[in-house]
C-alpha cells in the first residue's frame, strides 16, 4: 500500500471514490451524493492542487482505496488551525489500518506546516470505529453537535474533536 498526496492527475479516481463514500456512508458527510454527482472530475483537479489543502490517498496497486483531506484555515485569527475532512476507506479494505496510515500522513503534514497548532475534525457520534481511531491518534472530544446532519427523517449527532500538536 502506498500513501501519498493526491495530485490533479488523480482527480477522476478521487471523484469516483468520493461518490462511493457518499452512497456507502451518507450519514458521515455533509455533502450528498445528489449534490456532488453533478460535479465533474475537473472540479476536483483544482481542489487537489490548492495551496491550502492536502488530500492524502491510499493506493493498492493503482486503485485508490482511502482518502482524507487536511485543510488549513485562512483567516488571520484562526490560521493556527487545520481541519481534516472527508475521511473514507472503501468497505472491503476497512480494518486493515488504511485509515490510520492516511490520518498519520495528514497529521505529519500538519506538524510540518508553520503556524499550525491544532487539528479539528468531526465524526458521526455513532461511528465507534472512527472515534476509536481518532482517540488512539490523540484527538479529544470537546463537544457534541446535536442533530448536526439530517438524512431524510433521521438526525445524526456529530462529535467535535481536536488534536493539539
Asked if residue 51 has pLDDT above 90, the reply is no
83-120: pLDDT as tens digits: 999 999 999 999 999 999 999 999 999 999 999 999 99
- The rounded Cα 101 to chain-centroid distance in angstroms is 13
Model-level pTM? 0.92
Nearest of 136, 138, 131 to residue 162 by alpha carbon: 138
Per-residue pLDDT averaged across 153-163, rounded? Answer: 97
CA distance 84 to 107: 9
Alpha helices in the chain (DSSP H): 11-24, 33-36, 41-48, 98-112, 128-136
- The alpha helices in 25-149, defined as continuous H runs, are 33-36, 41-48, 98-112, 128-136
Amino acid at each position: 500500500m502506498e500513501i501519498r498526496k493526491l495530485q490533479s492527475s488523480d482527480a477522476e479516481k478521487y471523484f469516483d471514490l468520493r461518490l462511493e463514500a457518499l452512497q456507502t456512508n451518507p450519514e458521515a458527510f455533509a455533502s450528498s451524493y445528489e449534490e456532488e454527482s453533478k460535479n465533474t472530475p475537473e472540479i476536483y483537479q483544482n481542489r487537489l492542487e490548492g495551496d491550502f489543502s492536502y488530500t492524502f490517498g491510499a493506493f493498492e496497486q493503482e486503485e485508490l482505496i482511502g482518502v482524507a483531506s487536511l485543510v488549513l484555515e485562512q483567516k488571520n485569527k484562526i490560521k493556527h488551525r487545520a481541519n481534516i475532512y472527508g475521511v473514507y476507506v472503501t468497505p472491503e479494505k476497512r480494518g486493515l489500518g488504511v485509515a490510520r496510515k492516511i490520518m498519520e500522513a495528514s497529521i505529519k503534514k500538519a506538524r510540518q506546516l508553520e503556524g499550525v497548532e491544532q487539528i479539528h475534525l468531526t465524526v458521526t457520534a455513532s461511528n465507534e470505529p472512527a472515534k476509536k481511531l481518532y482517540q488512539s491518534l490523540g484527538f479529544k472530544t470537546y463537544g457534541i453537535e446535536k442533530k448536526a446532519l439530517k438524512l431524510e427523517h433521521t438526525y445524526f449527532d456529530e462529535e467535535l474533536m481536536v488534536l493539539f500538536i
